[in-house]
Structure 1
Amino acid sequence: MISTVRDWVLPGNQRRSLEDLEADLDLSHGDTRAKQSAFWTMLVLSAVIAAGGVLTDSTATVIGAMIIAPLSTPIMGIALGAVQRRHTSAGLFVALGCLLVVLIGALASLVVPASYDLLSDPQIAGRTSPGLLDLVAALATGFAGAVALARKDVAAVLPGVAIAISLVPPLVVTGVCAGQTAWWLALGSLVLFVSNLLALVFAGMVVYAALGHTAPSAGRAPHALRRAYLTIVTLFAAVGLVLAASTAGTVLVHLWTNRASDAAAAWLADVPGASVIGVQARSRTLYIQVRSPQDLPPVDRLLADLTGQVPDGVPVVVVTTEGQQIQAGRVGG
C-alpha cells in the first residue's frame, strides 16, 4: 500500500536523483560562492520588501517577498541531511538567516510611532495569533514543496508553494513587534514561523526517505532516522499544544465579542436610529463602536448586561462614530 502511494505521488521516471537535490539544496555544495551570494542577497531583499508590505498593509508586496524569499532552500537541506544522517551547514544558514530577517524587521519598527496599535494592521494581526489550522496548512504545503522539489515535472508549482508557506513575513513581524516591545505579539509570529519550519522539515524527510535517499550504511541509519523523526514529532507536539491554546483563546474571544455585541444592541434598543457597528478585543479591552443620533443610555446598564457574558474585570470602552470614547468601566466592577 505504501509503495503504491509512493509510486503514484513520485513516479520512478520523474524522480530527481540525490545528486540533483544536493546541488539545489546544499549551499555548501558546488559553486558555493555564487549560491551563498544569491541566498543572502535575495534574503535581504525579501526581508526589506516584506517589511514594507507589512507596515503599509500591502498584500501584493508581501506576496512578492514570499516568492523571492530563499529561506526554504536550506530548510529543505536540513530535511535531506537528516535522512542522509550527515551534518550539513543548512541549519547554520537557517539560524543566521532568521536572525538577519528579525533584525531587519526590528530596524523597520523604528519608523512606527510608539502610539501605533500594531493589531490595527491586518498584516501583523494575522500573523500573531496562529492556530491549529495554520499547522495543518503548513504541513500540506510542506509536502507540496517537497514533492515539487523531488519531481522533475512539477517545478512550476514552487512559486505557489513559496506563497503558501509563510517564512519571511512572520520573522519580519517578529522583528517589528520586538522593536515595539510587544513581546507577546512577537512570540505569536515566531511560533507561526517555527510551525512552518517544522512542517517543511518533516514533509521533506518523509518525501526524501520515500525516494530512497536515506543513509547507505545499514547498521545505525534506521535508528538515527527514527530518532530524527521522533525529535521532529516531539517538536510538532510542543508547537501543536501552543497552537491549540491559541486556537482556544481565539474561539473564546470571538464568543465574548459576539456576546458583547448582543448586549450592546439590547442596550441601544430604546434609542431610535442607534446601532452597534462592531466590537473588537484589543489589549485585553473590549471596544464597542456604536452609531447614535441621540444621547447614549447610561453605560452602567451596558456593564450590567455584560456581567456573566464576558469575564469579570474586562475594561469596556464605548466608541462613537464621532470619535468620542466613553470609558464605561470594568465588567463586574
Structure 2
Amino acid sequence: MLSSLRDRVLPDHQRRSLEELEEDLDLSAGDRRSKQSAFWTMLVLAAVIAAAGVLTDSTATVIGAMIIAPLSTPIMGIALGAVQRRRSTAALFVLCGGLVVVAIGALASLVVPASYDLLSDSQISSRTSPGLLDLVSALATGFAGAVALSRRDVAAVLPGVAIAISLVPPLVVTGVCAGQGAWWLALGSFVLFVSNLVAMVVAGMTVFGGLGYATAGRHRGEKSERRTYLALGLLFGAVGLLLAANTAGMVLVQLWTTRASDTAASWLADVPGASVVNVQAHSRTLYIQVRVPGDLPPISSLLTDLQGQVPDGVPVVVTTTEGRQIQAGRVGG
C-alpha cells in the first residue's frame, strides 16, 4: 500500500534522480563557488527587500522577499542529508545565513524612531505571536516543497511554496525588534522562523525517506538513524507545545478584550453619542479607546464592572478620540 501511494505521489518517469536533488540542495557539491555566490547574493538582497517591506508595512514588498527565499535550499538540504544519514554543511549555511538576515534587520531598525510603536506595523505584529496553525501551515508547505523538488513536472509551484513558508521576513523582524530593544517581540518572530524551519525539515525527511532517497549514503547505523528521528521529533513536539500554549494565550486575550469591549459599552450606555472605538491588549495592559462628546462617566465604575470579566491586576488605560489618555488603574486594585 505504501509503495502504491508513493508511485501515485511520484511516478517513476517524473522522479528526479538522487544526483539531481543533491546538485540542487547541496551548496558544497558541484560548482560550489557559483552556488554559494548565488546563495549569499540572493540572501542579502532578500533581507534588504524584506527589511524595506517590513518598515514600510508593504505586503507586496515582503512577498517579493519571500519569492527569492534562498534559505529554503539549505533547509531542504538538511532534510536530504538527514535521511541519507550523512554529514552535510546545510545546517551551517542556515545558521550563518540566519545571522546575516538578523543583522540586516538590526541595521534597518536604526532608521526607526525610538517612540515608534512596532505593533502598529502589521508586518511586525503578524509575525511576533505565532500560533499552532502557523506550524500546521508550515508543515503542509514543507510537504508541498519536498514533493515539488522531487518531481520534474511541478517545479512551477515552488514560488508559491516560497511565499507560503515565510523564512527571511521573520528573521528581519527579529533583527528590527532586537535593534529596538523589544526582546519579547524579537523572540516571538524568531520562534516563528524556528517552527517553520523544523516543520520544513520534518516534512522533507518524511517525503525524501518515503520516496526512496534514503537508500544511498548510509554511513551511519540504524541506532544513529533512530536518534536523528527521535531528536527531530522531540524538537518538533516542543515547538508544537510552545505554539499551542501561545495559541491558547491569544484565545484568552481575545476573550478578555471582547468582554472588556462589552463592559465598556455598558459603562458608556447612559452617555449620549458615546461609543467604544477599540479595545486592545499590549504589554499586559488593556487599552480602551472611546468616543465621548462630553465628560466620561466615573472611571472607578468601569474598573468595578471589569472585575470578573478580565484577570484582576490588569492595568487599564482609557483613551479618547480627542487624544486624552487616562490611567484608570488596575482591575480589582
TMscore range, shorter length? over 0.9
- Structure 1 residue 327: Cα displacement: 1.2
DSSP-derived class of the 1:326 partner = strand
2:203 is aligned with 1:203: yes
Runs of 4+ in 1 over 6 A off after TM superposition: none
Say which is worse superposed, 10-19 or 211-220, in terms of deviation: 211-220
User: Deviation string for 1:188-241 (max 9, x for gaps)?
Assistant: 111110010011111111111122111547795444333221111100011111
- 1:44 partner letter: V
AA aligned opposite 1:151: R
Superposition map of 1:245-284 within 5 A: 245-284=245-284
> What does 1:37-76 correspond to in 2, within 5 Å?
37-76=37-76
Distance 2:55 2:187 in 1: 18
1:305-316 superposed matches below 5 A: 305-316=305-316
Shift of 1:329: 1.0
The unaligned stretches of length 5 or more in structure 2 are: none
- TM-score (ref. length: structure 1): 0.97
**AA in 2 matched with 1:53:** G
Aligned residues of 1:131 and 1:243 also touching (Cα < 8 A): yes
C-alpha contact (below 8 Å) 1:43/1:97 kept by paired residues:
yes
Paired residues of 2:84 and 2:218 also in contact (CA < 8 A): no
- Whole-Å separation in 2 of the counterparts to 1:16 and 1:305: 65
Q: Output aligned runs, 1:293-312, within 5 Å.
A: 293-312=293-312
CA contact (8 A) 1:85 1:215 kept: no
> Which letter maps to 2:297?
P
Aligned length: 333
The question of 1:232 aligning with 2:232 is answered yes
Aligned to 1:144: 144
**Coordinate RMSD, CA, aligned:** 1.3
1:118 aligns with 2:118: yes
Q: Confirm or deny that 1:330 pairs with 2:330.
A: yes
Are the counterparts in 1 of residues 86 and 217 from structure 2 also a CA contact under 8 Å? no
Letter in 1 for 2:190: L
Q: Percent identity?
A: 78
Other-structure match for 2:30: 30
Q: What whole-Å deviation, never above 9, does each CA across 1:117-146 have from its counterpart, x for those lacking one?
A: 111111111111101110000000000000
**What CA distance in whole angstroms lies between the structure 1 residues aligned with 2:156 and 2:201?**
21
| CA distance 1:312–1:198, change in 2 (3 Å) | same
What are the Cα deviations for residues 133-171 of structure 1, in whole angstroms up to 9, with x where unaligned?
A: 100000000000000000000000000000000100000
Q: Distance in 2 between matches of 1:291 and 1:218?
A: 69
Q: Is the 8 A contact 2:74 2:90 kept in 1?
A: yes
8 Å contact 1:215–1:221 — kept in the other structure? no
Is residue 106 of structure 1 aligned with residue 106 of structure 2?
yes
Q: TM-score, normalised by structure 2?
A: 0.97
When residues 218 and 130 of structure 1 are mapped into structure 2, their CA distance, relative to the original with a 3 A threshold, is closer
Structure 1 stretch 143-152 or stretch 200-209: which is displaced more?
A: 200-209
1:185 Cα deviation from its structure 2 partner: 0.9
Deviations 1:89-116 (A, max 9, x none): 1111010000000001111111111111
2:289 is matched with which residue?
289
1:70-219 to 2 correspondences below 5 Å:
70-216=70-216
